[in-house]
Amino acid sequence: MNKISFRQYALLLSLVLLLPSSLLACTNYLVTKGASADGSTMVSYAADSHIRYGELYWRPAADWPQGSMVTLYDRGTAKPMGEIPQVPHTYQVIGFMNEHQVAIGETTFDGRPELFDSTGVVDYGSLMFLALQRSRTAREAIKVIAELVENYGYGSTGESFSIGDPNEVWIMEIIGKGTRMERNKKSGKMENVQKGAVWVAVRIPDGYISAHANHARITRFPLEDGKSSISSKSFHLLDQPGIEVIYAADVITFAREKGYYSGSDLNFSFSDTYAPLTFDAARFCELRVWAAFNRVNSAMSSYLDYAAGDITKERMPLYIKPDRKLTPRDLMAFKRDYLQETPYDMSKDAGAGPFGSPYRWRPLTWKYNDQEYFNERVTVTQQTGFSFIAQMRNWLPDPIGGIFWFGVDDAGSSVYMPFYCGISKVPECVAEGNGDMLTYSETAAFWVFNRVAHLKYLFYNRVMPDLIRVQTGLEDGFASEIPDVDSKALEIYKESPALAIKHITLYSAKTAENTVNRWRELGEFLLVKFLDGNVKQEKDGKFLRNPYGYPMPPSFPGYPEGWKQSVIRETGDTFRMH
């Protein structure tokens, strides 16, 4: 085996040092047709990052001349990674959903750091965007991803992908093979002879839901039989409806070569082999999956000890059957989870402060007297750039059937706005280039929502009732409007698809702009109401004045009893009145 170069070693070391921050980003949910209230499929995603800006990507469909190339960029740094050939035609993509209602989300699980390929050209972000531009179904997307990493190398750590179309949803987990450089006898150039990745993709059975949150969740899976399970050598069988598992042909043999696994093929577990379970993987990652499952399945209480970090307990299943049918609103609620109504409710412990905040500022882990401690890593988090619920409906034409429910910033104080996947452009308030993470823009939804969020972080339990009232009103309104918009768009579509696309484009733009304007008004209202830590008197959103036009005296809510007890316990009689 050739030794890796110092440069490669330095790159690998830097990646390992970054693992704690990347481990804790993103939460995804997957819902099958039989588990949804209306027969749609859904996948969700939260782009949790301290540097990710909330904007709605949009790429039109395009035809490309022969010989065209596409430059790929690292999703985390924007550094160019290389070029690959472009395909003759690419599909329209809005956010992470394409014109055929194929949608993709992801969470990073890192796994074994030595399997990072420093020569890989295609990272996880490029895999998502390229698969959306090149796939008409979820199965096609899996094939595109597998072929891209085989041909050009995989330049990321471990990833779990949520991949859905109007008929089915899949979870795909992938990790690279590391870097082993050898000289090509023909070209004389040094090449990575381990280029590629190992992976497994599992279709979620109809009637079930799944989730993942930064730890690999696929354990054992059936091996190739040509009927329900195939390897990458049998991609020609991909379209057979009975296929429920697809995997890289060398996913087990590679593990044996690396010394990761020595048991029987039948007992092979992808997660246990390529991302061994640890306390933090359970507590920071699996606990978020448990939080969603626990909301819709009463049997999940038996897995709480495991999810809280006791990895000697039985692992949670990859998918569960919910006790009720789910809607997009349910997934929005999942995105806002902070373990409320559980023993680990973030708003109840000492870190919540006097105003019951479920937020903790980073770093996630901290030391005191040489002992390491942690804050909970819950689903709702301040560092979300954007999140979405992709809803795919097979009874409608694709441009109307796909709805991309999109929210910027922290999901707890965001609003999920509906964008049809067939729209011809996105409104300015969420458009790329309208501000960025270091450039404030008063017209950008991301900055409008962040201004309100900071008021929430300051006085959480005071601000949230007003915020939730407006948030719920807007999202209730969208849910009630969509059936009429669908009906009208479908009626127009039968006569003119172009006019139908214009109709849904105008609706999506109007909805987004109105939402941002309403949120700006909310921010102004909250600033006035809670200025300087007091609470202005108001009724039905109108501030009250005395008969002479002067403001009515504000109230001073003060601090809760628990806070007072803490102060007295720590200071004794220091502040006692004499």
- The per-residue pLDDT for range 295-346, each reduced to its tens digit, is 999 999 999 999 999 999 999 999 999 999 999 999 999 999 999 999 999 9
pTM: 0.94
Q: How much is the mean pLDDT over the chain?
A: 94
Q: For the chain, percent helix, then strand, then coil, each to nearest 5? A: 40, 20, 40
Return the SS3 of 304.
Answer: helix
Closest C-alpha among 431, 455, 420 to residue 516: 431
What Cα–Cα distance (Å) separates residue 555 from each residue in 413, 464, 529, 551, 562?
25, 18, 10, 12, 20
Give the pLDDT confidence score for residue 184 in this predicted structure: 84
Half-sphere exposure of 407 (CA within 13 A, CB side): 30
Please give the sequence-ordered ranges of beta strands (E in DSSP) within 346-453, or none if there are none: 365-368, 371-374, 384-392, 403-408, 417-420
Is residue 52 a contact partner of residue 385, using CB atoms and an 8 Å limit?
yes
Q: What is the mean pLDDT of residues 106-122?
A: 95
Is residue 203 a contact partner of residue 245, using CB atoms and an 8 Å limit?
yes
- The tens digit of pLDDT for each residue in 380-438 reads 999 999 999 999 999 999 999 999 999 999 999 999 999 999 999 999 999 999 999 99
What Cα–Cα distance (Å) separates residue 212 from each residue in 36, 209, 236?
18, 11, 29
Q: Match 């001073």 to its residue by tokens.
A: 556
Band (pLDDT 50/70/90 cuts) for residue 14 is very low
Give the pLDDT confidence score for residue 5 in this predicted structure: 41
Omega within 30 of 0 (cis) for the link into 363: yes
Residues 552 and 260: their CA atoms lie apart, in Å, by: 71
Q: What is the mean pLDDT of residues 265-269?
A: 97
Residues 295 and 335: their CA atoms lie apart, in Å, by: 12
Return the SS3 of 437.
Answer: coil
Which amino acid does the sequence have at 569? R
What Cα–Cα distance (Å) separates residue 244 from each residue in 41, 231, 238, 247, 269?
16, 11, 10, 10, 17
- Percent of the chain exceeding pLDDT 70 equals 96
The helix or strand, by DSSP H or E, that contains position 104, with its residue range, turns out to be: strand 103-110
Which amino acid does the sequence have at 515? T
Residues 6+ apart with CB under 8 A from 513: 427, 428, 429
Half-sphere exposure of 215 (CA within 13 A, CB side): 25
- The tens digit of pLDDT for each residue in 118-143 reads 999 999 999 999 999 999 999 999 99
Give the pLDDT confidence score for residue 2 in this predicted structure: 38
Residue ranges of domains in the chain: 6-337, 396-533, 538-571
Residues 495 and 528: their CA atoms lie apart, in Å, by: 50
Give the pLDDT confidence score for residue 6 in this predicted structure: 35
pLDDT > 90? residue 190: no
Beta partners for 36? Answer: 326
pLDDT > 90? residue 229: yes
Q: What is the mean pLDDT of residues 262-291?
A: 97
Q: Match 């939460």 to its residue by tokens.
A: 27
- The tens digit of pLDDT for each residue in 240-263 reads 999 999 999 999 999 999 999 999
- Percent of the chain exceeding pLDDT 90 equals 92
Give the pLDDT confidence score for residue 141 in this predicted structure: 98
Band (pLDDT 50/70/90 cuts) for residue 187 is confident
Pairing relationship of beta strands 93-94 and 97-98 according to DSSP bridges:
antiparallel
Residues 308 and 22: their CA atoms lie apart, in Å, by: 20
Q: What are phi and psi of 435, to 5 degrees?
A: 80, 170
Chain mean position to CA 473? 24
Query: How far is the first Cα of the chain from the last one, in angstroms, to the nearest whole number?
Result: 79
Band (pLDDT 50/70/90 cuts) for residue 24 is low
Residues 99 and 492: their CA atoms lie apart, in Å, by: 18
Is residue 285 a contact partner of residue 19, using CB atoms and an 8 Å limit?
no
Give the pLDDT confidence score for residue 186 in this predicted structure: 82
Task: Please give the full DSSP string across 323-357, using - where no structure is assigned.
Answer: SS-B-HHHHHHHHT-S-TTSTT-TTTSGGGGGGT-
- The tens digit of pLDDT for each residue in 41-52 reads 999 999 999 999
Which amino acid does the sequence have at 443? T
Structure tokens at 217: 């969740």
Structure tokens at 298: 């009463």
Chain mean position to CA 280? 19
Residues 556 and 544: their CA atoms lie apart, in Å, by: 16
Is residue 275 a contact partner of residue 281, using CB atoms and an 8 Å limit?
yes
